Amino acid sequence: MALYRVLVADDSAFMRKIISDMINADKQFEIVATASNGRQAVDATVLMKPDVIMMDLEMPEMNGLEALVQVMRQRPTPTVMMSSTSDDGTRMTIKALQVGAFDFIRKPAGPTSPDIKTVGDQMLEKLRIAVESNVAASIASTDLEEEAPMDPTAKEAQAAAEPVRKRQTAEWQEWQAAMAAQMQSNEAEIIEDKSVVAEIPANEPAQAVTILEEQRVPASPKETVLPPKPQTPPANPVAREIASSSQAKTFEPEKPRRAAVPLVERKPAPAPPAAAIKPEPKPAPRNIASPQVPTAKPMTKPEVKPEVKPAAASMSKPLPIAADLMDEPITPRVKKQSAKQTNFRHLVAIGTSTGGPRALHEVITALPENLPAPVLVVQHMPPKFTHSLAQRLDSFSALQVTEAVNGERVYAGVVYIAPGGLHMELAKDGQGYFIRLTEQPPRGGHRPSVDVMFESCAPFTELQRHSVIMTGMGSDGAKGMKTLMESGGKSAIAESEETCVVYGMPRSAVENGAAKTVVPLGRIAGAIVDAVMR
């Protein structure tokens, strides 16, 4: 038997065949089931218990995003999404990554597509990392008693950290209790939202799911048909889905974003309420080759008085699901700073890769609107997707979040996301700091590169520079962080292994001595604010 079992979900039989052939070509994988829509994918996940799922976003009856939510409720399974590069496709991809998808690939156009081999290699690599990361996490949680004895120094360090561990455990248990109560109200919201799910006749039975049996290996795989659904399910299709999963395994809901960290008290505070926002306009076209550095006008947004909520509602809801599909944040956004400051003394630079969209959501949305520093971000992502990521983060953040434009001025209180396919550097002229985007060759296979961004910040010793590396495979950022710290960087923060989706980039930064502070994801925003205020 193959090592890892894969479920493939795509509404096109043609694409299911292409994807299955690419996966079957690797002896580490076997296809145990295929599904033609999201509802079938959920049923097949529960029935066949695959190790990893390859799921298309755009499917009938129940799309990939809705199916992902149900998979994470009924049987959490590492899932890699397939996405188009359309505006809708990129927006849904970012949502899927924040809801719980492990990673994504751009969907191949067909067997004759010029990049079909590249896409296939990327898909196999991400499937392998997804399932191995999940297995590693399971082993780590069950084999703690088999660890080698610690030396006296390590024991002392563990004893010193015990109060912190107990406090974090208590906070986690408190959060779980609060989330259990919130899940009830969130499911009710999903049931009421009919705008994102196609209506299906109440008496329509479920379509067949192709199951490749593993008990025997015939000349041609046999197909098993799932039993039909009851003939009298709830009228609403989403209600039917929730009702059918009431006895299924419950997943751990995603941790809600932390509230903005106040600059004065340096402690987490309740999430500030905010006002709804209009869609962010697309940035002006970049002119990378232009020798002139244009002076970008500060981008302003309408100021709206924050809505006052009772204390009981101060905890933000988990990442939106149904209402979220309409591009309307559950928690309204607070107003942005109207006056941009160019005379800042601090600079924050963040690098991340696999698992980054969820990590960035956790950190960026917890930073206060009066943060006296600009934030530069490199997230490994293809072109177009970074624009949707910036829009998505902007709709939930107190800070202004934008995809960086070549030559634009850098202001305190603004987050600049490096565009996919371009390196982002910090530069300076007589008028101040600005963004420089380049098409220099990829560094370590990445463009944008975290190393390139960090290294570009090294010459500006007049700034207090704070670097952060979060979840991601590989080692991008470790060398750049070391260079930055050797030039007098103020602080270097790495995400701890316990919260990383993939503990690759942070591990490299710790092992080469660049990272000076290692904290779990939920404490990174607080560490940034503390560092900026020293």
Residue 467 lies in a domain: yes
Residue 334 lies in a domain: no
Shared-domain flag, residues 80 and 15: yes
Integer Cα distance of 35 and 44 in angstroms:
7
Shared-domain flag, residues 13 and 135: yes
Residue 322 lies in a domain: no
Shared-domain flag, residues 109 and 178: no
Q: What is the CATH number of the domain that holds 368?
A: 3.40.50.180
Structure tokens at 497: 């292994």
Structure tokens at 69: 């939510």
Shared-domain flag, residues 211 and 228: yes
**Terminal-to-terminal C-alpha distance of the chain:** 57
- Long-range contacts of 181-184, Cβ-Cβ distance < 8 Å, separation of 24 or more: 182/253, 182/256, 182/315, 182/317, 182/318, 183/253, 183/318
Concatenating the DSSP letter of every residue in 281-341 gives: PPPPPP-TT-SS---PPPP-----PPPP--GGG-SPPSSPSTGGGGT--SSPBPPPPSS-B
- The count of structural domains within the chain is 3
Residue 469 lies in a domain: yes
Cα separation values, 475 from 278, 293, 428, 433, 446, Å: 38, 32, 28, 28, 11
Shared-domain flag, residues 157 and 53: no
Q: Judge contact between 463 and 345, C-beta under 8 A.
A: yes
Shared-domain flag, residues 374 and 362: yes
> Of 244, 265, 285, which one is at a domain's C-terminal end?
244
pLDDT of 175 reads: 47
Integer Cα distance of 66 and 320 in angstroms:
11
SS (H, E, C) 293-307: CCCCCCCCCCCCCCC
Structure tokens at 281: 């306009």
Q: Judge contact between 50 and 82, C-beta under 8 A.
A: no
> Of 244, 276, 307, which one is at a domain's C-terminal end?
244
Shared-domain flag, residues 349 and 458: yes
Shared-domain flag, residues 41 and 169: no
Backbone angles phi, psi at 54, to 5 degrees: -110, 110
Integer Cα distance of 183 and 206 in angstroms:
27
The full length of the chain comes to: 534
Cα separation values, 493 from 367, 459, 467, 468, 525, Å: 15, 20, 6, 5, 10
> Of 218, 244, 270, which one is at a domain's C-terminal end?
244
Structure tokens at 213: 């049996």
Range of the domain at 432: 341-532
pLDDT of 499 reads: 94
Tell me the helices (H) and strands (E) count for the chain, helix number first. 13, 15
Shared-domain flag, residues 171 and 95: no
The DSSP bridge partners found for residue 375 are 348, 415
Residue 197 lies in a domain: yes
Shared-domain flag, residues 356 and 406: yes
Residue 398 lies in a domain: yes
Residue 306 lies in a domain: no
Shared-domain flag, residues 186 and 202: no
Integer Cα distance of 208 and 34 in angstroms:
10
Concatenating the DSSP letter of every residue in 518-533 gives: EE-GGGHHHHHHHHHT
Q: Judge contact between 387 and 419, C-beta under 8 A.
A: yes
Residue 512: strand, helix, or coil: coil
Q: What is the CATH number of the domain that holds 69?
A: 3.40.50.2300
Integer Cα distance of 518 and 527 in angstroms:
10
Shared-domain flag, residues 184 and 197: no
Structure pTM?
Answer: 0.61
Residue 61: strand, helix, or coil: coil
H runs (alpha helix) in 25-54: 38-48
Q: Which residues contact 447 (CB under 8 A, 6 or more apart)?
A: 421, 422, 423, 439, 440, 441
Q: Which residues contact 334 (CB under 8 A, 6 or more apart)?
A: 272, 273, 274, 275, 306, 369, 398
Residues acting as catalytic residues: 353, 380, 476
Integer Cα distance of 408 and 160 in angstroms:
46
pLDDT of 118 reads: 83
- Residue 421 region by backbone torsions, left for phi larger than 0, else alpha for psi between -120 and 50, else beta: left
Structure tokens at 88: 């809708």
Nearest to 362 by CA among 221, 272, 257: 257
Residue 329 lies in a domain: no
Pairing type for strands 29-35 and 210-211 reads antiparallel
Burial of 217 (0-12, 13-18, 19+ CB in 10 A): exposed
Structure tokens at 192: 């009421």
Per-residue pLDDT of the chain (534 residues; tens, 9 = 90+): 558 999 999 999 999 999 999 999 999 999 999 999 999 999 999 999 999 999 999 999 899 999 999 999 999 999 999 988 788 888 899 999 988 899 999 887 666 666 778 888 889 999 999 988 865 554 444 333 333 344 454 455 445 555 545 554 555 455 445 544 554 444 444 444 444 333 334 444 444 444 443 333 333 343 333 444 444 443 443 333 333 433 333 333 344 444 544 444 334 444 444 433 344 444 444 444 443 444 444 444 444 433 433 333 332 333 333 334 334 444 445 545 545 788 899 999 999 999 999 999 999 999 999 999 999 999 999 988 999 999 999 999 999 999 999 999 999 999 999 999 999 999 999 999 999 999 999 999 999 999 999 999 999 999 999 999 999 999 999 999 999 999 999 999 999 999 999 999 999 999 999 999 999 999 999 999 999 987
Q: Which residues contact 518 (CB under 8 A, 6 or more apart)?
A: 493, 494, 495, 496, 506, 510
